[in-house]
Amino acid sequence: MIPYGRQCIEEDDIEAVAQVLRSDFLTTGPKIPEFEAALCALTGARHAVVCSNGTTALHLALIAAGIGPGDAAIVPSMTFLATANAVRYCGADVVFADVDADTGLMEAHHLERALARAKDLSLNVKAVLPVHLTGRCVDMRALKPLAERHNLKMIADCAHAVGSAHHGTPAGSGLYEDFATFSFHPVKTIAAGEGGAVTTNNAEHAAQMRIIRSHGMAPAPQNGPWAYDMQELGYNYRMTDLQCALALSQLKKIDRFIQRRAEIVALYDRLFADLPSPFQRPALCCTDCVPAWHLYAPRIDFTALGMSRADFVLRLREKGVGTQVHYIPVHTQPYYKNLYGDIALPGANQYYERTLSLPLFPLMRDEDAEYVVQTIKDVIGA
């Protein structure tokens, strides 16, 4: 079976973790600041705060952005559940924005529409969370003036975009957003087992997130060398030294990973060039974006193809090709429907109807991609 994604773990990664196991610190030790510094170098942001996963990264960023009960945040519906759920952890409301039907990305006019809807509902919108879906970046330059005019904090969900760049700056540099969040789940570009990070250029926010990720404990040496103060509710959102050592080892290879992913994307694009029109390559995004491809998600018109997506997926699976759908629009989930009722977001629905993520990971061989495409051609009789 060729899965849609998988990690690439090599002997040096294993050795890096083993070294931590032989050291004094398993959790908060020297690998934490080392990985944080490496993330600053990767993104160009001034501060990086690592944490237990990409979901807690979103939660930490939202807390530091001051989002709480009575507030609302705008989230594109075409994302993973976590982007919206983290807003709910803060007791705030989610206002779902639509996305482009071809790219799945939120654009300025979608944000404007969501702001107008929030106004009608008398919601107090304080943040917006653009999502760089599949590694292609949202046009942050177009969103920024809108966010400024409406006094919104921008939190870019970069879970798919580790190593992507837009407008000449790395994703998560903090040039366009107040915070950017990352995930190091094994299907993402670098694997830490579990892991996440927030980047920001604001030193106070970084310091606050470091305290909140460890129970809200702030050192209080004036009260004794042992003392700490808890001013604010914290959590245990720490990343371990074991995970940071793995992530650091993986980060050393990120250029190779991104390069190999780009090669497979180019190969897919070439092999799919002569497929019938119901089958289209993934849509590119804003000008000036250099994606680090996390997913390869072509657009397939299953109605025109005369085959349901479920049948297509099952027949590929029978032949050993794994696929996944990224994503079911979050606003259609029962939890959110119960909260906010039926919302019409036609772009998100149209994107969803046609999307299917094919296998893409650095360990794939050219023959694997060729097999995937040949299998698809066989299944659709092309």
Ligand X SMILES: *Cc1c(COP(=O)(O)O)cnc(C)c1O
Residues lying near ligand X in the complex (CB under 6 A) = 53-55, 79-80, 82-83, 131, 157, 159-160, 183, 185, 196
Q: How far is the CB of 181 from ligand X (least distance, A)?
A: 7
Quickly tell me which residue has 């789940």 as its tokens: 185
Give the residue with the Cβ less far from ligand X, 43 or 183: 183
Q: How far is the CB of 132 from ligand X (least distance, A)?
A: 8
Give the residue with the Cβ less far from ligand X, 172 or 196: 196
Q: How far is the CB of 333 from ligand X (least distance, A)?
A: 15
Kindly calculate the radius of gyration of the chain based on its CA atoms and give it in whole angstroms. 21
Give the residue with the Cβ less far from ligand X, 83 or 208: 83
- 38 contacts: CB under 8 Å, gap ≥ 6: 248, 251
Q: How far is the CB of 12 from ligand X (least distance, A)?
A: 23
| Terminal Cα distance for the chain, rounded | 23
DSSP secondary structure, 201-225, as one string: S-HHHHHHHHHHTBTTEEE-GGG-T
Give the residue with the Cβ less far from ligand X, 80 or 272: 80
- Can 188 be counted among the known catalytic residues? yes
- 284 contacts: CB under 8 Å, gap ≥ 6: 103, 136
Point out the catalytic residue in the list 144, 188, 253, 377.
188
Distance CA 39, CA 162 (A): 10
Give the residue with the Cβ less far from ligand X, 7 or 55: 55
CA 141 from centre of chain: 19
The residue number whose beta carbon is nearest to ligand X equals 54
- 264 contacts: CB under 8 Å, gap ≥ 6: 293, 296, 360, 364, 366, 369
Q: How far is the CB of 189 from ligand X (least distance, A)?
A: 11
Write down how long the chain is: 382
Active site residues: 188
